[in-house]
Structure 1
Amino acid sequence: MSTTVWTVQGMTCQHCVTAVTEEVSLIPGVTAVAVELESGQVTVTAEADPSTEAVAAAIDEAGYTLVTS
């Protein structure tokens, strides 16, 4: 198992947390997602590190932006 932490821009409420959690959970191999609204941090636990592209696509599908730099 591996755990990675990503930063997401644009989340403002519990609905945002739910949307991000649902979309990131759909990435193959992801076993857990924890979203901290205040900091924008999303902690992803998976069988192997998901690619930045997969996480960015899931975050985009939820309507938010992955901070990559």
Structure 2
Amino acid sequence: MASASTAIASTSNYPLGVRATVRYRGFVLIPQADFTWLVRPERSPMHLLPFRAPASSLADVKALVDWRLGEAI
């Protein structure tokens, strides 16, 4: 019988611990199965609408959030 962690790993496209949801500057960065990132505000009122970031590294997504926040002000 498979353990719970094995069942989770087999249903996911990523091994455990490789791509996890990240909180950054009031946003939640959520990895998607197609290697893009869904970026959503943690709370309302939203200063920036949710958006998708192209397939890239976490550092690139954080830089994109910083850039968009700079334009929103």
TM-score range normalised by the length of the shorter chain: 0.3 to 0.5
| Bigger CA radius of gyration | 2
Higher RCO structure, 1 or 2 (CA under 8 Å, sep 6+): 1
